[in-house]
């Protein structure tokens, strides 16, 4: 038997109401903020991610699904910011009046070790806002994320916030961090030994208990907890916090929040659930003011976020599938088909028995799947009438066919 691949899942019809709910809410909420939907291809040139996400990241180094076709190296998208930026540049969207707000939904692919909340094919819904460097955009993007989650009915979430500064102040931080960590270098895990030179900020993200113990040392904590960001970055961050405070958006400052992608500067944030296991981030995002230029576009500041839809779905639990409006009970198949098509033309969901079962069996089925049974016996057909049975209250009445009004 050929089975579904490790780290991938079927989304079955019974789960679809939750997925439709998440997708419809995304369209509704993000549209209210002026965002327009964009759909970019699922595979892109490998170079886009190497340059966009960063070739020192785990995503690019270990997790990409890369393949060759006609001498081209292609990769299934591990995330969608790079693809949206590529499209923004390619389609000259910098010429549109700023801000350009885009939202998306769709599958992403990362070759990670699967566990609860972590898959190899997963889905994200996300937003990218281009063209505004002021902290107002940061505040609005965080609001969009928080309000979307609120509209889904999710509570018990924590917003974690940090500022990574700009490339200038971050260099100084990296140098100081390396200075205090250097004496412990031989004791660090293999990954951290590589990160030390390539991407020292990512040291803070390490989950190994041995490394954690080292990074908890007072001289290292003093550097981590110290305020390293320059005056301009600090003003930007204070302004953002001011907006969030004024809007009643609760957040905690997490100085260890560095995010696993290289394109960020200044604001980064994650929204975590207190009801998920170790994979508890439902949303991750931040500012990436240099990415558009780095990928060959005009200098354009930007900020965005993405949410893992499987993680949202597991928090939302089950949602009852809607019943059909009507189920036609009849032994005259042709009349049943005709009525069904008339109803569908009026946007009424309905089905009828395709196998000509006994009346009682058809009625049993109707009571399971529909709100109303529409009974078309020989008497009704010859009188051009229809018996409507409300399957909730069991009330029934026979009416003229033209009087049927189920909407």
Instruction: Tell me which stretch binds ligand HAM (CB under 6 A): 38-46, 146-154, 283-291, 387-395.
Output: 283-291
| Alpha-carbon dihedral sign for residues 314, 320, 321, 322 | negative
Q: Taking CB under 6 A as the criterion, which residues in 234-263 touch ligand HAM?
A: 260-261
Task: Give the C-alpha separation, 145 to 188, whole Å.
Answer: 36
Sketch the per residue contact string, 287 through 326, with ligand HAM: x for CB under 6 A, - otherwise.
-----------------xxxxx-xx---------------
> Which CB sits closer to ligand HAM, 204 or 214?
204
**99: contact with ligand HAM by CB under 6 A:** no
- Name 330's bridge partners: 376
Phi then psi for residue 129, to 5 deg, are -120, 120
Number of residues that bind ligand HAM (CB under 6 A): 25
Residue among 167 and 183 whose Cβ is closer to ligand HAM: 167
Specify whether the CB–CB gap between 348 and 370 falls below 8 A.
Answer: no
Residue (118 or 176) nearer to ligand HAM, CB: 118
Distance CA(324)–CA(242), nearest Å, equals: 49
Residue 80 Cβ vs ligand HAM, minimum distance, rounded to whole Å: 6
55, two tokens: 């070739």
Minimum separation from the CB atom of position 117 to ligand HAM (A): 6
Nearest to 330 by CA among 397, 289, 267, 381: 381
- Binding to ligand HAM by CB under 6 A, coded x per residue (else -) over 147-186, reads ----------------------------------------
Q: How far is the CB of 251 from ligand HAM (least distance, A)?
A: 16
Per the CB < 8 A criterion, the answer to whether 286 and 237 are in contact is: no
Q: Is residue 286 near ligand HAM by the rule CB under 6 A?
A: yes
Our measurement of the distance from residue 68's CA atom to the centroid of its chain's CA atoms, rounded to an integer in Å, reads: 28
| Interactions with ligand HAM, residue window 333-352 (CB under 6 A) | none
Helix (H) or strand (E) holding 29: helix 16-32
What track of x and - describes contact with ligand HAM for positions 124 through 143 (by CB under 6 A)?
x-x-x---------------
Rounded CA separation 11/14 (Å): 8
- CB closest to ligand HAM, residue no: 308
Asked if 284 is part of the footprint of ligand HAM (rule: CB under 6 A), the reply reads yes
| Residue count (the chain) | 407
Phi first, then psi, for residue 55 (nearest 5°) are -85, 10
Residues 106-125 that bind ligand HAM (CB under 6 A): 110, 112, 118-119, 122, 124
In the bound state with ligand HAM, the residue whose beta carbon lies nearer, of 158 and 332, is: 158
Q: At what angle do helices 135-152 and 16-32 cross, to 10 degrees?
A: 150
SS3 of residue 271 by DSSP: strand
- Which of residues 40, 81, 267, 300 is near ligand HAM by CB under 6 A? 81
* Contact between 215 and ligand HAM per CB under 6 A: no
| 277 φ, ψ (degrees, to nearest 5) | -75, -135
Note the residues at the interface with ligand HAM (CB under 6 A).
Answer: 79, 81, 110, 112, 118-119, 122, 124, 126, 128, 260-261, 281-286, 304-308, 310-311
């Amino acid at each position: 038997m050929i089975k579904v691949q490790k780290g991938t899942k079927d989304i079955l019809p019974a789960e679809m109401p939750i997925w439709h709910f998440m997708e419809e809410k995304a369209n509704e909420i993000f549209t209210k903020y002026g965002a327009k939907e964009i759909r970019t291809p699922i595979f892109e040139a490998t170079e886009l991610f190497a340059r966009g996400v960063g070739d020192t990241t785990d995503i690019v180094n270990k997790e990409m699904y890369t393949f060759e076709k006609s001498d081209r190296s292609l990769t299934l998208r591990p995330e969608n910011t790079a693809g949206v930026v590529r499209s923004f540049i390619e389609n000259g969207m910098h010429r549109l009046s700023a801000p350009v707000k885009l939202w998306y939904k769709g599958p992403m692919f990362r070759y990670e070790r699967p566990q609860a909340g972590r898959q190899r094919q997963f889905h994200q819904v996300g937003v990218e806002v281009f063209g505004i460097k002021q902290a107002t955009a940061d505040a609005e993007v965080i609001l969009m994320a928080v309000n979307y989650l609120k509209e889904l009915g999710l509570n018990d979430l924590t917003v974690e916030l940090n500022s990574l500064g700009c490339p200038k102040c971050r260099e100084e931080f990296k140098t100081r961090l390396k200075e205090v960590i250097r004496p412990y270098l031989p004791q660090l895990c293999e990954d951290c030994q590589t990160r030390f030179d390539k991407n020292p900020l990512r040291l803070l993200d390490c989950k190994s208990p041995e490394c954690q113990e080292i990074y908890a040392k007072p001289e290292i904590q003093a550097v981590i907890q110290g305020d390293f960001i320059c005056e301009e970055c600090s003003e930007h961050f204070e302004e953002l916090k001011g907006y969030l405070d004024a809007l009643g958006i609760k957040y905690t400052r997490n100085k260890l929040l560095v995010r696993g992608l290289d394109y960020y500067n200044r604001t980064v944030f994650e929204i975590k659930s207190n009801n998920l296991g170790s994979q508890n981030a439902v949303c991750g995002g931040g500012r990436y003011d240099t990415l558009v230029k780095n990928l060959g576009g005009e200098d354009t500041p930007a900020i965005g976020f993405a949410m893992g839809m499987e993680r949202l779905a597991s928090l939302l639990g089950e949602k009852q599938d809607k019943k059909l409006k009507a189920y036609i009970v009849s032994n005259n198949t042709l009349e049943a088909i005709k009525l069904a098509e008339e109803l569908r033309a009026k946007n009424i969901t309905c089905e009828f028995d395709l196998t000509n079962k006994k009346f009682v069996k058809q009625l049993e089925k109707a009571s399971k799947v529909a709100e109303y049974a529409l009974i078309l016996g020989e008497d009704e057909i010859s009188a051009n009438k229809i018996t409507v049975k409300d399957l909730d209250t069991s009330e029934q009445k026979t009416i003229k066919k033209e009087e049927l009004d189920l909407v």
